[in-house]
Structure 1
Amino acid sequence: MKVILLNNYSMTAQWEQWERENYQYPSHHLWGATTLPKHGIDVDILLWEKYSFLKKISYKIKILGDLDQQVRLLLEKHDYDIIYSANQGCTYLLAILRAIGLLKKPVVTVQHQSFQKNIWSFLFIKFILSRYDRLFCLSNGIRNHLIKEFNLPENKVHLLEWGIDLPFYKIKNNDSLDAKEREKSFILSAGRTYRDYKTLTKAFKNINYPLRIYSAADPIFNDIDDNSSNIQVFTSYLSWQEILTEHANAYAIAIPLDNTQPKSYIHAIGVTSLLDAMGMGKAVVMTRTVEPCIDIEKEGIGIFVEQGDVQGWQEAISYLLEHPDETREMGNRARRLCEEKYSLEVFTSRLSVLLKDVLK
Structure 2
Amino acid sequence: MPKSVRVLVLNNYPLDEVWDEVKRGDKPDHHLYGINHLADMGYDVRVVDGTAARRVATLARWLHRLRNPVPLGALARQSAAWQALREGDVIYAPCGEELTSLAYLRALGLLNTPLLALQHHALNQGRLAGLREPWIRLMVRGLDACPALSTRAMQQINQRCPQGRPKSVVLPWGPDAHYYPRAQGPGQGMLAAGRTGRDFVTFALGATQAGVAAHIIGLPGPWLAARSRFSAQVQIRTPEAGRVFGYPEMMGAHLAARAIAIPLDDSQVSLAGLTSLVDAMAIGRPVIMTRNPFIDLDIEAQGIGRWVAPGDVDGWAVALRWFDQNPDAAQAMGARARALVDGPDWNSLAFARRIETLLAGLSRAA
TM normalised by structure 1 equals 0.88
Q: 2: distance between equivalents of 1:10 and 1:238?
A: 18
Cα drift, residue 232 of structure 1: 1.4
Cα drift, residue 150 of structure 1: 6.5
Cα drift, residue 77 of structure 1: 5.9
Provide closer, same or farther for how the CA distance between residues 152 and 80 of structure 1 changes in structure 2, counting only shifts above 3 A: farther
1:53-92 maps to which residues of 2 (within 5 A)? 53-57=58-62, 59=64, 60-61=67-68, 63-76=71-84, 78-92=86-100
1:215 is matched with 218
Provide closer, same or farther for how the CA distance between residues 336 and 102 of structure 1 changes in structure 2, counting only shifts above 3 A: same
Cα drift, residue 290 of structure 1: 2.2
1:282 is matched with 285
Instruction: Indicate if the aligned counterparts of 1:196 and 1:257 stay in contact, CA closer than 8 A.
Output: yes
Residue type at the aligned position of 2:146: L
1:284-299 maps to which residues of 2 (within 5 A)? 284-299=287-302
Cα drift, residue 291 of structure 1: 3.5
Q: 1: distance between equivalents of 2:58 and 2:323?
A: 51
Residue type at the aligned position of 2:175: I
Q: 2: distance between equivalents of 1:101 and 1:142?
A: 26
Residue type at the aligned position of 1:29: H
1:56-135 maps to which residues of 2 (within 5 A)? 56-57=61-62, 59=64, 60-61=67-68, 63-76=71-84, 78-115=86-123, 119-120=130-131, 122-135=133-146
SS at match of 2:210: coil
> Alignment partner for residue 348 of structure 1, among 352, 356, 364?
352
1:246 is matched with 253
Cα drift, residue 153 of structure 1: 4.8
2:318 is matched with 315
Instruction: Indicate if the aligned counterparts of 1:114 and 1:142 stay in contact, CA closer than 8 A.
Output: yes
> Alignment partner for residue 173 of structure 2, among 155, 162, 166?
162
SS at match of 2:169: strand
Q: 1: distance between equivalents of 2:164 and 2:254?
A: 41
Instruction: Indicate if the aligned counterparts of 2:191 and 2:254 stay in contact, CA closer than 8 A.
Output: yes
2:238 is matched with 235
2:274 is matched with 271
Provide closer, same or farther for how the CA distance between residues 290 and 18 of structure 1 changes in structure 2, counting only shifts above 3 A: closer
Cα drift, residue 329 of structure 1: 1.4
Provide closer, same or farther for how the CA distance between residues 142 and 352 of structure 1 changes in structure 2, counting only shifts above 3 A: same
Aligned pair count reads 346
Provide, for residues 118-168 of structure 1, a one-character-per-residue CA deviation record: whole Å limited to 9, x for no partner.
Answer: 745642432222321100111223223433577665541122121221211
Where does structure 1 lack aligned partners over 5 or more consecutive residues?
none
2:42 is matched with 40
Instruction: Indicate if the aligned counterparts of 1:162 and 1:343 stay in contact, CA closer than 8 A.
Output: yes
Provide closer, same or farther for how the CA distance between residues 6 and 152 of structure 1 changes in structure 2, counting only shifts above 3 A: farther
Residue type at the aligned position of 2:75: L
SS at match of 1:268: coil
SS at match of 1:91: helix
Provide, for residues 176-203 of structure 1, a one-character-per-residue CA deviation record: whole Å limited to 9, x for no partner.
Answer: x3xxxx5xx2211110111111211221
Provide closer, same or farther for how the CA distance between residues 46 and 54 of structure 1 changes in structure 2, counting only shifts above 3 A: farther
Cα drift, residue 301 of structure 1: 0.9
Provide closer, same or farther for how the CA distance between residues 272 and 48 of structure 1 changes in structure 2, counting only shifts above 3 A: farther
Instruction: Indicate if the aligned counterparts of 2:141 and 2:161 stay in contact, CA closer than 8 A.
Output: no
Instruction: Indicate if the aligned counterparts of 1:12 and 1:48 stay in contact, CA closer than 8 A.
Output: no
TM normalised by structure 2 equals 0.87
Provide closer, same or farther for how the CA distance between residues 338 and 54 of structure 1 changes in structure 2, counting only shifts above 3 A: farther
Instruction: Indicate if the aligned counterparts of 1:11 and 1:48 stay in contact, CA closer than 8 A.
Output: no
Provide closer, same or farther for how the CA distance between residues 255 and 24 of structure 1 changes in structure 2, counting only shifts above 3 A: closer
Higher alpha-carbon deviation: 308-317 or 5-14 = 5-14
Residue type at the aligned position of 1:257: L
Where does structure 2 lack aligned partners over 5 or more consecutive residues?
none
2:205 is matched with 202
Q: 1: distance between equivalents of 2:313 and 2:160?
A: 33
The sequence identity of aligned pairs, in percent, is 30
2:363 is matched with 359
Cα drift, residue 299 of structure 1: 1.3
Instruction: Indicate if the aligned counterparts of 1:268 and 1:293 stay in contact, CA closer than 8 A.
Output: no
Q: 2: distance between equivalents of 1:119 and 1:227?
A: 42
Cα drift, residue 246 of structure 1: 1.1
Instruction: Indicate if the aligned counterparts of 1:49 and 1:55 stay in contact, CA closer than 8 A.
Output: no
Provide closer, same or farther for how the CA distance between residues 231 and 27 of structure 1 changes in structure 2, counting only shifts above 3 A: same
Provide closer, same or farther for how the CA distance between residues 103 and 270 of structure 1 changes in structure 2, counting only shifts above 3 A: same
Q: 1: distance between equivalents of 2:63 and 2:252?
A: 38
Q: 1: distance between equivalents of 2:115 and 2:135?
A: 17
Q: 1: distance between equivalents of 2:161 and 2:109?
A: 23
Cα drift, residue 325 of structure 1: 2.2
Provide, for residues 197-217 of structure 1, a one-character-per-residue CA deviation record: whole Å limited to 9, x for no partner.
Answer: 121122122122221111111
